[in-house]
Chain A
Amino acid sequence: MAGVGTKSGVKYDARGLVEPDAEIPHVSEVDGKSARFDAGNLTTRQINLELRDLIYVQGMEDVTVVNPGSKNSLGVGILKRVNLTFEGSPGWFACGLIDGPQVRIKGRVGWALAENMMSGTVVVDANAGSLTCAAIRGGDVLVNGDVGARTGIDQKGGTIMVMGDVGINTGFMMQRGRQIIAGNAGDGLGDSMYDGTLYVGGTVASLGVDCVEGEWTDADTEFIERKYRIYDLGTPPTFQKFVCGKVLHNYDSLEPSERKLVL
């Protein structure tokens, strides 16, 4: 499909989608199994095509993206164990749907980081936007700064660590997994959660519906100390633990066939 040119040189199709006919730019400097490229003048689609070529076709083990320029949807859908570094800040939807990569973001990141992540690690040096780790199923995500609202909404597994503060409705409807929040939490923490555990080191503005304080165990201490040790985060502060009160949703233990009989 022919694109429509603009002053900036970027082409759009009839629906306004950028670069419908983009090709792999092949701009990386390669050194053995490591590659590095400057994304400053590349579009989102070109950057992701370059990444996929480096990771899947050329089999690179370490890939560095310089100047991501806060572009959206970078590093998405990577399903391989590879070290991926962004020297700068990606925008929204960074590293969504990943399964396996070890990602380091030397900057901040926009909304919906690591959405639906399956496994791997993502470490962010600065702040992250709202909806960080929405619906993640596994892996570790560490944000060294603050994050916005609804962190780990619909979380189904994995561990989210935030060294700063989090906004409203953190852990909203979370189902599994853990969050370690070293700073303060906004209103509605753990609102309507089904399961999982929230650890908060600072203050909690208010708890959400059916989120209650949990009983601290040695396993909690071991878990937090291990995560702090792995990510070299120093000595952990004192945390409070929050879990689901299990009065909001239907928590009977019946099998579906048994429930049919009861109903």
Chain B
Amino acid sequence: MCGIAGVIHRDGPADIGTEITRMLQSMKHRGPDSTGYALYGPADDNIVIRFVLAEPNEAGGFGMDERLEQNRSEVERRLGQLGAEVDQITSDTGYAFRASVKYRGELQPLADYLEDIPGCEILSLGNSLEIVKDLGDAETVDKQYSLGSFWGTHGIGHVRMATESDVDLASAHPYWAYPFSDVAVVHNGQLTNYHQWRRRLERSGHRFQSECDSEIIAVYLAERLQSGVNLEAAMKESLDDLDGVFTYVCVTANELGFAKDEMAAKPLVLFESDTLVAVATEEVAIRHLTNSENITRDPYEREVKVWQV
């Protein structure tokens, strides 16, 4: 049982960090273990890399501060080595970092080279996407990363109740579609053909950051998008290709969409107006977003909808 949420503003940017925090906090009962955000700010020429160099429960260990500093310097060195010009590297926590870089090259070699540093995991990479995830509820993570100041057009979030894997960052959502720029997914459900798809995608040269089935959806969709299929068509194809019970929300630099499996077994509520679209596992989240009574509905089985910014 997890909770997912998504918001897209069709009339310009808003304080989506705060908005998604309100939605996720209202669904804390669905998953208090970790909380994650994929937020989209205005597109920039720079690439933003969100990465961690240690798990939260490792930070503060013996000699860890020194190791984190060494590895942070190594990230900067490797970025320079690949021709990326670093504007800024900041950290809110000591183990999670945000780098803003000028870079025109291929993303996969960059991501692979950085992840080769011990403990380094790239959470997101893109011109407007920033993934933030950590342990605890939404208010905790919001405060830790100052998400109240994040201004953007759309975003998704996830509250996780750990059932089949650890309470750690690697298992927390959202998932970035490594190594595709600006694609992220949150998911509620289980994929029963996970291993089949993982092997298939690995044979195509993809690699995965986690053992989580949700990551498959992100990479699956990003691969379709790269081959020229639009997001809505890719999501419709996923209903036939992915087995299991699932509802997921996918975001790209300028789109947000949801898909519901053929059993409609996992919940989602949809609110749609001329300026705002919001989806969430429970209506209480939408109520906390709009602070008013809303006309919402449950999408039906095999339903896919996509909205543009």
Contacts and interface: CB of A to CB of B under 8 A. Distances in A.
Interface of A: 6-8, 12, 16, 18, 69-72, 88-89, 91-92, 107-108, 110-111, 126-127, 129-130, 145-150, 165, 167-169, 186-187
A186 B300 contact: yes
The A contact surface, by secondary structure, is: loop
Interface stretch (B12-20, B78-86, B231-239, B262-270): B262-270
Interface in B263-309: 263-265, 267, 269, 282-284, 286-287, 293-298, 300-301
Q: Top 3 A-B pairs ranked by shortest CB distance?
A: A148-B298, A149-B264, A70-B287
Interface stretch (B25-33, B100-108, B199-207, B215-223): B25-33
Contact of A129 (B139, B287, B294, B298): B298
Contacts of B269: 110, 129
A146 B296 CA distance: 10
Given A70-B286, A107-B293, A186-B300, 4 more contacts: A72-B282, A89-B283, A108-B297, A149-B298
Interface residues of B, number: 25
Interface of B: 25, 28-29, 32, 137, 139, 262-265, 267, 269, 282-284, 286-287, 293-298, 300-301
Contacts of A6: 137, 139
Contacts of B296: 89, 108, 127
A89 B293 contact: yes
Contacts of B28: 12, 16
Contact of A149 (B284, B293, B297, B301): B301
Contacts of B139: 6-8
The B contact surface, by secondary structure, is: loop
B297 A72 contact: no
B238 to A, nearest CB: 18
A186 B300 CA distance: 9
B29 A18 contact: yes
B284 A72 contact: yes
Contacts of B293: 88-89, 107
B295 A70 contact: no
Contact of B300 (A72, A88, A91, A149): A149
Given A127-B297, A167-B264, A92 B25 contact: no
A8 B294 CA distance: 22
A165 B294 CA distance: 19
Contacts of B298: 111, 127, 129-130, 146-149, 167
A165 B284 CA distance: 23
A187 B303 CA distance: 13
A16 B263 CA distance: 30
B264 A16 contact: no
Contacts of A12: 28
Contacts of B137: 6
A94 to B, nearest CB: 11
Nearest to A90: B283
Contact of B283 (A7, A110, A147, A150): A110
